[in-house]
Amino acid sequence: MCMQSERQTTGMKFFVDTADTNEIRDLAETGLLDGVTTNPSLVAKTGRDFIDVLKEICAIVDGPVSAEVTATEAAAMIAEGNKLAAVAPNVTVKVPLTWDGLKACRALTQAGTPVNVTLCFSANQALLAAKAGATFISPFVGRLDDMGQDGMELIAEIKTIYDNYPAIETEILVASIRHPIHLKQAAMMGADVATLPPDVLRKLASHPLTDKGLAAFLADWQKTGQKIL
């Protein structure tokens, strides 16, 4: 049974970027988690069977769960994508932004399978993914920052292009988020989704003044000698 209650998502959607089912289960209990993204590197860290991990994640969350193909040729990507999509109804097949990946995206989308096109590093690539029918486009902002470029500028460019063409339904899924500022900037730009590592997602609720204020409230309450329960 899914641990999230059914609800209407408002504003930006939050996905967690991990294959750690304990982390996903804990975050899902908050009711703030809209989906999950994984990749071969994240699954490898678990030391578990890929399909078993995918099944467990899909049972925890009711939103999209991105599972990435490992093939590099279009026909093999499509075959792998079909196998992954058969695991659970909320699987989104993840393909790389290559020519073969775009071909696979088109075929899978036409068959009714949601597709997340990943490893996007330019606005032109994002436009191609939208033309291929991608459900999500995943620009990697942190990796661009690592190269001395402004990753968030890419999000702004994609948002402008997509907004110019109302027929585009591809959602901008901001990936490779390294810190809460990336998230805030993405939300201010109107990105549809952000996928965050568990530690970054938890940091969104943290502020030293919150901690300081709570400590003061509790100290004052303790002085009264009262209890609510």
What confidence tens digit (pLDDT) does each residue in 57-80 have? 999 999 999 999 999 999 999 999
Task: Quote the percentage of the chain above a pLDDT of 70.
Answer: 96
CATH number at residue 42: 3.20.20.70
Asked if 67 and 35 count as a contact pair (C-beta separation under 8 A), the reply is no
Note whether residue 63 is domain-resident.
yes
Q: In which domain, by residue range, is 173 found?
A: 13-224
- Asked, for residue 190, whether it belongs to a domain, the answer is yes
- Using alpha carbons, select from 69, 1, 10 the residue that is nearest to residue 34: 10
Answer yes or no: is 219 within a domain: yes
Q: Is position 4 within any domain?
A: no
Residue 172 lies in a domain: yes
Q: Largest Cα–Cα distance of the chain, in whole Å?
A: 71
List 55, 94, 184, 212, catalytic entry: 94
Instruction: Residue 34: name the closest of 92, 118, 85 by CA.
Output: 92
For position 9, what pLDDT does the model report?
Answer: 56
Total domains in the chain come to 1
For residue 216, being part of any structural domain is answered with yes
- Return all residues near 201 (Cβ < 8 A) that are at least 6 apart: 14, 16, 27
pLDDT digits (tens, 9 = 90+) for 25-49: 999 999 999 999 999 899 999 999 9
Q: What is the pLDDT of residue 38?
A: 95
Q: Does residue 85 carry a pLDDT above 70? A: yes
Q: Per-residue pLDDT tens for 6-19?
A: 444 578 999 999 99
Task: Please give the average per-residue pLDDT across 193-205, as a whole number.
Answer: 96
Residue 39 maps to a domain: yes
94 counts as catalytic? yes
What is this structure's pTM?
Answer: 0.92
Query: What mean pLDDT do residues 128-149 have?
Result: 98
Provide the token pair at 92: 């989104």
Residue 2 lies in a domain: no
